[in-house]
Amino acid sequence: MEIKITKEQQNRLLKRKEITFEIDHSQTRGTPQRLEVRNKLAEVLKTKPELVYVKRVETKTGTMKATGEANAYESIEQAKLIEPKYIITRNIPQENKEKTEEKAEAPAPPPKKPEKPAEKKE
């Protein structure tokens, strides 16, 4: 799998790099998994994989080339403030997803309805 960055733009306001990339995956055959792409992008950008969030990866029909978009943040806190939850969830390794889902499955007690005061008849 070879990654070629086609466009890289620095967004100073959001403290991130916005990246468009191309992947040649003729050796692996199928579209590479998001986490593989994330690790490879981090290697190319010389940053930690935890700071890279892959937004999309699409293979062009009939080819072994995929295009995609990703964001590389300066800090994890900044990424959690800006990236939507579903993108963050998609970029978490499978074993970590299972742990967070177990915590989320704990049922919360139902909220209590406030009692209405008795109406007075005049």
pLDDT in tens, 88-100: 998 988 776 666 6
**Number of folded domains that form the chain:** 1
Say what the pLDDT of residue 54 is.
94
Please list the ranges in the chain whose pLDDT falls under 70.
96-114, 116-122
For the entire predicted model, the pTM comes to 0.72
Residue 48 lies in a domain: yes
Say what the pLDDT of residue 44 is.
92
- Boundaries of domain holding 57: 2-96
- Residue 106: other Cβ atoms inside 10 A: 6
Say what the pLDDT of residue 62 is.
86
Residue 66 lies in a domain: yes
Say what the pLDDT of residue 93 is.
82
Residue 42 lies in a domain: yes
CATH number at residue 11: 3.30.70.330
Say what the pLDDT of residue 19 is.
94
Q: Helices in 1-122 by DSSP H: which ranges?
A: 34-45, 76-82, 85-90, 94-105
Residues contacting residue 18 through CB under 8 Å, at least 6 positions apart:
8, 9, 10, 11, 69, 71
